[in-house]
Amino acid sequence: MPHYARQHAQQHAETRTRERRHRLAHEAARLMAEGGIRDYHQAKLKAAERLGIYDDASLPRNREIEDALREYQRLFQRDNLVGLRQRREAALRAMEFFSAFEPRLVGPVLDGTADARSPVALHLYSDDPDAASRFLDQHGIPAEARSRHLRLDRERSDDFPVWIFSAEELSFDLTVLPLDVLRQAPLSGVDEKPMKRASAAQLRQLLADEEIAGYESGG
């Protein structure tokens, strides 16, 4: 096969793979938005099955699905935007309440993919793993104890205490981490990079920026 023909065939194959990745990412996002699937890998495999696409090269990255999910919600689930702001405002109040624990907002409420099922997820920091539990008890807040496995970096991973409680008709999910983890966030299950997280000051700024953007767009 002449060189130019090989090059054209390769470009065609790459374009086809790119189109398949795009279709799969959007189908996986739709399944997550409408079907309540929370796991990116599960959504990806189900989308591949529905579309009959089984080559690994066409499987989108989790971050591509997250971007597609945000776009899907913006186009088809505009009510989510109201719920997202409500959750972010509730997160700020919770962070002020837990200020002694250097709280950080993480997860869908921060990255903008939250829906009606999404809890407000906070990371609290203390070298005393029972301090948060005592604080909840002192304030008469009943909470359910769980644990969560997190990777702190490429070498270290561990199980950490989690407390689940309800307030303002919302669910809150608190993970208690050692103080030294404040230096670098645990690795995200989405892309294996340090999680996006926001302090109370950063969240306050995000809410202010959104309000300004809303006024400017006439929203």
| Total-model pTM | 0.74
pLDDT in tens, 99-152: 999 999 999 999 888 888 889 999 999 999 899 999 999 999 999 999 999 999
- In a 10 Å sphere around its CB, with 0-12 CB exposed, 13-18 middle and 19+ buried, how is residue 54 labelled? exposed
Closest by CA position to 196, among listed 8, 29, 27, 70 = 70
- In a 10 Å sphere around its CB, with 0-12 CB exposed, 13-18 middle and 19+ buried, how is residue 201 labelled? exposed
List, in order of start, the domains of the chain with CATH numbers: 3-76 (no CATH), 79-216 (3.30.460.10)
- The average confidence (pLDDT) of the chain is 88
Query: What does the pLDDT read at residue 214?
Result: 61
pLDDT in tens, 159-177: 999 999 999 899 999 999 9
